[in-house]
Amino acid sequence: MTVFDLTPPTDAQRETLIAGLSEEERRVLLHHGTEAPFCGVFLDNKLDGVYTCRLCGLPLFRSSAKFDSGTGWPSFFQPVDEAHVGRIRDSSYGMIRTEIVCARCQSHLGHVFPDGPPPTGERHCLNSVSLAFTPNGDALPDPLHRGGTEAQPAG
């Protein structure tokens, strides 16, 4: 069970958050784009911490679940909490894949594939521009101003 408030942002909050995005972040997060492989800022990040949604700040993946998939995008074998990552059938580009989105704000994160390492066998392949990173020990972002009641997830 999640301890994070998954209530979507209000329309006004969403507009404010979107106003702070770069053109590339808008293309990926809002229009289901994909950044070029091997160029994302988090591909080679080895720091310990939590990856959060770039738009709403929801914790998505721990650095301890990150692995080098060789695909050119940051890859994780499991989310912080399954409730934080939505899954949508994606039949674009003549193939069937599973898109992953932030469960709170519905921002596009990437895709999940059934070829990852144990224990899940999954590879959550993410766009770096869909993410923000919080080092262990630092406060998580609170762009929705939910009162600081959310803390870094244990683990």
In angstroms, the CA 78 to CA 62 distance is 8
Evaluate if residue 115 carries a pLDDT over 60.
yes
The SS3 of residue 63 is: helix
Known binding residues are 53, 56, 102, 105
Q: Answer yes or no: is 145 within a domain.
A: no
Q: Answer yes or no: is 45 within a domain.
A: yes
Q: Answer yes or no: is 106 within a domain.
A: yes
Q: How much is the pLDDT for 61? A: 98
- State the CATH number of the domain containing residue 71: 2.170.150.20
Known binding residues for Zn(2+) are 53, 56, 102, 105
Evaluate if residue 153 carries a pLDDT over 80.
no
Q: Answer yes or no: is 99 within a domain.
A: yes
Mean pLDDT calculated for residue range 13-26: 96
pLDDT band at 152 (very low <50, low <70, confident <90, very high): low
In angstroms, the CA 100 to CA 145 distance is 25
In angstroms, the CA 154 to CA 146 distance is 19
Q: Answer yes or no: is 153 within a domain.
A: no
Q: How much is the pLDDT for 147? A: 64
Q: Please state the domain count of the chain.
A: 1
Q: How much is the pLDDT for 150? A: 54
Q: How much is the pLDDT for 41? A: 96
Q: Are residues 99 and 111 in contact, defined by beta-carbon separation less than 8 angstroms?
A: yes
pTM of full prediction above 0.95: no
> Which residue of the set 50, 101, 103, 125 is catalytic?
125
Q: Answer yes or no: is 92 within a domain.
A: yes
Q: Answer yes or no: is 23 within a domain.
A: yes
Of 29-33, 66-70, 120-124, 151-155, minimum mean pLDDT range: 151-155
Mean pLDDT calculated for residue range 130-135: 97
Q: How much is the pLDDT for 155? A: 55
Q: Known catalytic residue: 39?
A: no
Q: Answer yes or no: is 154 within a domain.
A: no
The 10s digit of each residue's pLDDT in 66-108 is 999 999 999 999 999 999 999 999 887 788 889 999 999 999 9
**What percent of the chain has pLDDT above 90?**
81
